[in-house]
């Protein structure tokens, strides 16, 4: 339990001290009476705020997952365990006031929706949530750190983006890209052909086979999906906003790639841990990991970039989503280009113009979009 003077409390304390100084030279002791009234307010405030905070309990929902710019939709509940009125209660986190309750009846409970809008991705743990009360006079605030289990995970706000360039197309049912060949399985019916040895019986197209030209089997369009690798820098620029924009851009590109039916691999230069995401995956895990990315300066180094490139698939198109562009990034980019790898650069809009990289496409990202740099 922590007690702090509120701004009003500090002002009135200063006034009390001034009054006391005045009383030293004043013949009247009545100034002390005035000081005593204020002292009474302080002491009552201290006691009641302490009782409030001690007796009121907060029930939170389990971990909440929301996106940037949203507020939690699940109600929280305050319960007054005492036989006295409680009031002027604030549920706070270091990021702002979650909710406030003016009055809580004895043994009563009240539910509220948190007012706090989470504008920034990240993990907001409930362990840092505190319950404060300034009841009744607003001079002293009693604060209790609740140490509750659970957290609010704020996903980066992904936006619509053009799907990134893919490479290393493989056959995959549901792939959005059409190949030249016919396959025995797929979602787009291409036609029939005479049955050959080894064709499974279930592929027989009985309707056409009944026409007397022998057994015919179904063929489908070849469906392909590409491979896209994202290599993300975790804050070389040292600017939290650019990192957030970078994370948002990465998330948006990953989802665009997944929607296109590509295999996605992504790796961040801090952990250098490769994540493989099959096409049409749910994506919550990706967002969860993107939400938890923390800033790490100095990770955009040649060695880290080479390790990352080695870990991703050789056939994949490499997308560098960086917060800065330095010599190491340039070196690795040119090297990959010389190996005929499909490489794309995504840089913050504040990044200075990049010299010609031999035709490597360069995009810039901002808070809410991607633009190709010509």
Partner 1 sequence: MKSARNQLILLGFLAQGLSWDEYFLPLINALLWVGCLLWRRRPIRFGPVTESVILAAGCAAGYLLAAGMGRSTHFFIGHGLVLMQAVRLLRPLDRREKVFSILIACFHLGVGCTLAPDFRFMAVLLAAMILVPKSLLDLERKAFAGGVPVFKLRSVMGAFAGVSGITILVFLAFPRIFVGAPIQLRAGTSDQGTLLDSVLDPARSGYAQSDRTLLQIEGERLGPLRCYALADFNGLQWSAEKRTTLRRIQYVSPEQLTGHPYRRVRAKQVGFLGRILPTDGPVVALSGRFFRRPLQNAHGAIECEAMWNTANNLYEYWTDPKPRFDRLTRAQAQFYTYHPPQSERLQNWLAGVLAGVTNSLEQARRLEARLQTNFKYQLGGPELQRLNPIDDFIFNQKQGHCERFAASLALLLRMEGVPSRIVIGYLPVNRNRYSGWYNIRFKDAHAWTEGYFPEVGWVQFDATPGGAVEAGGWNLRDLLDTLDFAWYSHVVNFDGSAQKQLVISSLRSLEQSAAWARRESPWLLAVVLAALSAWVWQQRQNRDKVHITRSRPKTAVQAAHYYGQMLRALARQGFHRASPQTPLEFLSDLQGRALPHLSEVRFITEVFCSTRYGHHPLSAMEEAEIEKALERIRKGSATGAT
Chain contacts with partner 1 (rule: CB under 8 A)? 8, 11-12, 15, 19, 22, 24-41, 43-44, 47-48, 75, 77, 83-85, 87-88, 100-103, 105-112, 134-139
* C-beta closer to partner 1: residue 13 or 148: 13
CB of 34 to partner 1, least distance (A): 6
CB of 173 to partner 1, least distance (A): 42
* C-beta closer to partner 1: residue 23 or 67: 23
How far apart CA 21 and CA 26 sit, in angstroms, is 9
CB of 50 to partner 1, least distance (A): 13
Using alpha carbons, list the distances in angstroms from residue 97 to 42, 90, 114, 130, 326: 24, 7, 8, 10, 41
The phi, psi pair for 243, rounded to 5°, reads: -65, -45
* C-beta closer to partner 1: residue 22 or 240: 22
CB of 310 to partner 1, least distance (A): 56
Using alpha carbons, list the distances in angstroms from residue 336 to 2, 107, 339, 351, 362: 57, 68, 5, 22, 15
CB of 228 to partner 1, least distance (A): 44
Contact 142, 55 (CB under 8 A): no
Contact 346, 365 (CB under 8 A): yes
* C-beta closer to partner 1: residue 84 or 120: 84
* C-beta closer to partner 1: residue 28 or 180: 28
Contact 153, 237 (CB under 8 A): no
How far apart CA 72 and CA 2 sit, in angstroms, is 27
């Amino acid at each position: 339990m922590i007690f702090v003077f509120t701004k009003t409390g500090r002002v009135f304390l200063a006034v009390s001290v001034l009054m006391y100084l005045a009383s030293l030279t004043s013949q009247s002791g009545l100034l002390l009476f005035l000081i005593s009234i204020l002292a009474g307010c302080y002491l009552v405030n201290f006691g009641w705020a302490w009782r409030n905070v001690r007796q009121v309990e907060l029930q939170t929902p389990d971990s909440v997952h929301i996106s940037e710019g949203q507020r939690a939709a699940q109600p929280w509940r305050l319960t007054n365990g005492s036989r006295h009125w409680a009031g002027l209660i604030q549920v706070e986190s270091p990021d702002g006031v979650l909710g406030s309750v003016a009055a809580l009846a004895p043994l009563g409970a009240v539910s509220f929706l948190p007012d706090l809008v989470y504008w920034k991705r990240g993990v907001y743990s409930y362990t840092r949530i505190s319950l404060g009360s300034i009841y009744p006079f607003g001079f002293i605030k009693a604060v209790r750190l609740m140490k509750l289990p659970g957290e609010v995970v704020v996903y980066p706000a992904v936006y619509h983006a053009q799907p990134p360039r893919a490479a290393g197309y493989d056959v995959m049912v549901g792939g959005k890209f059409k190949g030249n060949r016919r396959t025995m399985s797929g979602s787009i019916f291409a036609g029939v052909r005479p049955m050959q040895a080894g064709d499974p019986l279930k592929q027989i197209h009985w309707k056409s086979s009944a026409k007397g030209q022998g057994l015919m089997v179904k063929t489908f369009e070849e469906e392909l999906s590409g491979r896209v690798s994202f290599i993300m820098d975790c804050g070389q620029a040292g600017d939290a906003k650019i990192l957030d924009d970078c994370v948002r851009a990465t998330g948006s590109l990953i989802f665009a790639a997944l929607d296109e039916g590509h295999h996605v691999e992504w790796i961040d230069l801090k952990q250098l841990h490769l994540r493989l995401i099959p096409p049409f995956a749910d994506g919550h895990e990706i967002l969860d990991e993107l939400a938890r990315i923390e800033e790490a300066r100095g990770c955009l180094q040649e060695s880290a970039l080479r390790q990352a490139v080695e870990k991703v698939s050789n056939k994949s198109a490499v997308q560098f989503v960086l917060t800065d562009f330095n010599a190491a990034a340039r070196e690795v980019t040119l090297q990959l280009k010389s190996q005929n790898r499909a490489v794309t650069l995504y840089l913050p809009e504040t990044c200075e113009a990049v010299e010609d990289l031999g035709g490597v496409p360069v995009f810039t990202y901002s808070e809410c979009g991607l633009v190709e740099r010509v």
